[in-house]
Amino acid sequence: MSSITIGRSALLAFSCLLATSALGQDADPQAIVDAQFALAGNQKGVRASGAKGICVTGTFTPTAEAPSLSKAPHFAKTVPVTARFSMGGSNAKISDKVKPVTRGFAMRMTDPSGDLVLVIISAPVFSTKTPKQLLDFATVRMPGPDGKPDADKIKAFSAANPETTKQAAWLNARPVPASFAGVDYWGVHAYTLTNAKNEAKVVKLKTVATAGQLGLTDDELKAKPDSFYADELKERLAKGPASFDLVAIPGEAGDPTTDATAMWPNEESRKSVKLGTLAIAAIEPNATCDAATFDPVVDLPDGIAGPTDDPMFAIRSPAYAVSLSRRSAQQ
């Protein structure tokens, strides 16, 4: 191991400790990421989550209304986007046919002043509300000596932590998406948008697929191979860009802003504001997306901020850094 590697690891361990204590976190990001990797047998050179994915490029074009909500330069003109669609979890060989797994959409809108990164999923809620609960959620699902997790332990954990069952219930109630471009994605956390007059609004962010919700019937699903999203996207993009509306769902007094497992009351029927259109135009070599991490905490410009009081938000930055460091060292 070179001294550079030792230096980087030590720095990372130190920054994890700092992040854990300074943010009042109840679990160490390194321990969580270790558990995430262990769940799929510690595959090498892959992400701790979103291990199987496809890198793409496109543009984001804001609406005329967007600057009235956010002063971020990305909401004032068309900007380039590098993005990645993925399957949740650290198994790079996961079948695209699995239902209770979120599809992911990580995007980096670039501007000379800095990036705007959103990393969002195909469910309106996350699986856990605290980092410690995420660690326990992963630990209880760890395969035993027979290669299988203990179903009774999972049952007991779910009964004691009912909010951790909401995401899977939501996904199980819907068909498997036929396309990465045929499903909506949610930011899950409560974001604050601030305009040039320094007027702030709490919102949830969502991308709405222009193609609509393209779900597979059971028969269609049976006929699919385990990997079909990459080819489907290539074919789709050969005919033209795949687009999504980025919308802001307005917050109301009393909405929970600290619990990523909770939807807001009537969230689905609130009148959202369209911030712009994401147009995904081309497949990009995976290396472009793999060289860095999409950090949804650090890479936010003035005009858009994540929640300060949601324990699941801030910890994402050190966790993603641990994963990047490990997968980069293994390549």
Q: How far is CA 289 from CA 56, 74, 297, 316, in A?
A: 8, 20, 17, 18
CA-CA distance, 243 to 281, in Å (whole number)? 9
- Tally the C-alpha atoms within 13 A of residue 254's C-alpha that lie toward its C-beta: 3
Cβ 104 to ligand HEM shortest distance, Å: 3
Q: Which is nearer to ligand HEM, 31 or 71 (CB)?
A: 31
State the minimum distance, in angstroms, from the CB of residue 103 to ligand HEM. Answer: 8
Rounded to 10 degrees, the C-alpha dihedral 121/35/323/282 comes to: -30
Query: Locate tokens 């930055």: which residue?
Result: 317
Q: Across-strand partners of 70?
A: none
The residue ranges that bind ligand HEM (CB under 6 A) are 32-33, 36, 47-50, 53, 84, 86, 104, 106, 119-121, 126, 131, 134, 188, 260, 293-294, 312, 315-316, 319-320, 323-324, 327
CA atoms within 13 A on the CB side of 156: 7
Q: How far is the CB of 22 from ligand HEM (least distance, A)?
A: 16
Complex with ligand HEM: residue 62 or 124, whichever CB lies closer: 124
For the bound state, the minimum distance from the C-beta of residue 299 to ligand HEM, rounded and expressed in Å, comes to: 12
* 208 phi and psi angles, rounded to 5 deg: -105, 120
CB of 122 to ligand HEM, least distance (A): 9
Closest distance to ligand HEM from the beta carbon of 93 (Å): 16
In the bound state with ligand HEM, the residue whose beta carbon lies nearer, of 75 and 294, is 294
Q: Give the chain's radius of gyration (CA, Å).
A: 19
Minimum Å distance from CB 60 to ligand HEM?
17
Cβ distance to ligand HEM smaller for residue 27 or 67: 27
| Residue closer to ligand HEM, measured from CB, 120 or 275 | 120
CB closer to ligand HEM out of 73 and 323: 323
CA distances from 306 to 11, 20, 23, 295, 315 (A): 25, 18, 14, 12, 12
Cβ at position 319, least distance to ligand HEM in Å:
4
Q: Which lies closer to ligand HEM via its Cβ, residue 70 or residue 122?
A: 122
Bridge-partner residues for 201, per DSSP? 193
Please, what is the angle between helix 151-160 and helix 131-140, to 10°? Answer: 160
Residues 6+ apart with CB under 8 A from 317: 19, 295, 296, 297, 298
Q: Which is nearer to ligand HEM, 32 or 304 (CB)?
A: 32
